[in-house]
A and B are shown apart, each in its own frame.
Chain A
Amino acid sequence: MTATRAIVEDGSLPRLPRHVKLRFDPARDRWIVLAPERVLMPDEIALEILKRCDGKTSVSAITQGLAEAYEASAEEIGEDVAEMLQDLADKGFVQL
C-alpha cells in the first residue's frame, strides 16, 4: 500500500471500499451510507453519484450519466462532480 493521496481524474474508476456500504434502509425509507462510526444520509445528487461508483464507470461517464438524468450539460456539472468525488475520496468513502 502506498501512502499517497489519490486525485480524481476523468479516467478514474471510483468504487466504494469494502468498509463503505450503500444500502436502502426500509426503517427510514431512504438510502444510507454505512462507514466506520458513520452513517451518512446522502442527498439526491450524492446518491446518484454513489450509485454509479461501481469500479467500472469512469468519472467522465458518471458526469455524462448525471448530465443526462438532470438535463444539464456535462461541462456545467463536471467540476461539481469531480469536487464531490474528491471530497468523498479524502474522507475514505470512495476509492479511486
Chain B
Amino acid sequence: MTAQTMTAPEPPLAMLVELTHRCPLRCPYCSNPLELERRGQELDTAAWRDVLDQAAALGVLQVHFSGGEPTARPDLEDLVEHAAGLGLYTNLITAGVLLDEARVGRLSAAGLDHVQLSIQDSDPAESDRIAGYQGGYRRKIAVAGWIRAAGLPLTLNAPVHRHNIERLEAIIALAVELGAERIEVAHVQYYGWGLKNRAALIPTRAQLERATEVVEAAIERLKGVLVFDYVVPDYYAHRPKACMGGWGRQFLNVTPSGKVLPCHAAETIPGLAFERVTERGLAEIWAHSPAFERFRGTDWMPEPCASCERREIDWGGCRCQALAILGDAALTDPACGLSPHHDALVALAEAESDREPPAFQYRRMTRPEPVEA
C-alpha cells in the first residue's frame, strides 16, 4: 500500500457544479443544504468559465451542471459550450420546468452530451404535491419530448420514498414511454432537506424489498431497452456505499458561491473549513485543502474499518451519515453491519417507517422571505 497522504492524489473524474441554489420546486428530499446560498452570492459567468478551465487542466472528465435548478441561470448554454470546447463530458441535471423548446435546442447546439430529468411520481397530482409545484408534471412530460426531439439522450431521475414507492412499476413504464435510455431509481438519501424530512420519507423494509424486486424484474425485462441505475437506501443495508467513490478520490462539488467540497453534504461537518475557487486554485484545493485531506485514504479510519478488508472498497462509507446519526463524522458509517451502532440505525428506520408520516417540511430559503398574502 502506498502512503497516500505523501503522494499527490489521483485527479478527480467528475465535478458537480451547483450553478445556483435557486429552484422553483420545493422537494422535501432536496440534497441541498438547509442554509441555501442566495443569488447575490453566486459566481458570475467569467468565474465559472475559469472553474471549468481549471477542472479540465486538473484532469476532470465529466461536468454535471446542477443546482438548485441550473436552468435558472441564463448563462447555462454559455457554460455548456465552454465546457464542451474543453473536451469535458457535459451533463445537465434538471427539474425541467423552466425549459422551453427553443432553449433545449440551444443547449443541444451548445454541445450538451446528456440530460437527467427528474420526475417526482407517475401520478400527476402526487408529483406536483411532492415537488410543491403546481403544473410541474405536465411541463416535465413536455420537456422530455423536446429533449428527445432535439436528439439529446435522456435519463429519467426518479427519487423514491414512501409516497411513490408503490408506483415504481408505473414510473419505470413512464421512462420507457418517454423514450429515455436510462432511469435512475434512487432511494432518497438522508442529507440536507432529506434528513429533515426523513420520518416523512423513509419506506418500510417490506416496501423496500418489494421495490427491489420490481427493479430487478424490470432490469431483466427491459434489457437492451432501458438501462437502470439503482441506488438502494443505506439504512437497511449490510454494507455501506462507497460514498462519492471515497472522500477526495474521484469527485468534487462546487457550490454557487465557489466553495469546493468533497461531497455536496460536506458542509454539515463541523470543524472543516472549505476553500473557495476564487481564493485558491482548484488543483491546490484538491491536493492540499485540509478538508479534502481529512478523510482521504485510510489513515483517518477508526476500527472496525482500519483493519477491515473492505476499507479500500467502500472507504468506510459516508462521513456525513456518520455525523448525522452518531454526531461524529470520523466514525464508521452506521449503515455498515460491522458498526456497533448499526442495530440502533435499523431500529430507528423501522420505528420511523412504521409511524404515520408527518407532513412535509418543504424546502425553502431559511431566512424568512417577505410574507405573501
| B179 within 8 Å of A (CB atoms) | yes
B225: which of A4, A7, A18, A34 is its contact (CB, 8 Å)?
Answer: A4
**Chain A interface main SS type:** loop
CB distance from B228 to the nearest CB of A (A): 10
User: Is B257 positioned at the interface, with any CB of A under 8 Å from its CB?
Assistant: no
Q: Does any Cβ of B come within 8 Å of A27's Cβ? A: yes
Say which residue of A23, A27, A32, A92 sits within 8 Å of B181 (CB atoms). Answer: A92
Give the residues from 170 to 186 in chain B that come closer than 8 angstroms, CB to CB, to chain A: 176, 179, 181-182, 184
Determine if A1 is an interface residue (Cβ-Cβ < 8 Å): yes
| Minimum Cβ distance to chain B for residue A46 (Å) | 18
**Interface contact A32-B223, CB-CB below 8 Å:** no
* Count of chain B residues with a beta carbon within 8 Å of a chain A beta carbon: 30
The answer to whether A6 and B224 have CB atoms under 8 Å apart is yes
Please measure, in the bound complex, the distance between the C-alpha atom of A23 and the C-alpha atom of B89, giving whole angstroms: 10
Per the bound structure, the CA–CA distance linking A3 and B87 in Å amounts to: 32
Query: Across the two chains, which residue of chain A brings its CB closest to B181?
Result: A92
Supply 27 A–B pairs (Cβ within 8 Å), ascending by A. A3-B226, A4-B224, A5-B223, A6-B224, A17-B181, A18-B113, A18-B152, A18-B153, A23-B87, A25-B61, A27-B58, A28-B11, A28-B59, A32-B61, A34-B61, A34-B62, A34-B89, A36-B91, A36-B155, A36-B182, A37-B91, A37-B155, A37-B184, A39-B61, A90-B223, A90-B224, A91-B227
The interface of chain B, by Cβ under 8 A from chain A, is 11, 13-14, 58-59, 61-62, 87, 89, 91, 113-114, 116, 148, 151-153, 155, 176, 179, 181-182, 184, 222-227, 229
- Leading 7 A-B pairs by shortest Cβ distance: A5-B224, A27-B59, A19-B153, A34-B89, A92-B227, A19-B114, A3-B225
19 more contacts with CB within 8 A, not counting A21-B113, A36-B91, are: A1-B179, A3-B225, A4-B224, A5-B224, A17-B181, A18-B113, A19-B113, A19-B114, A21-B89, A23-B87, A27-B11, A28-B11, A34-B89, A36-B153, A36-B155, A37-B91, A37-B155, A89-B224, A90-B224
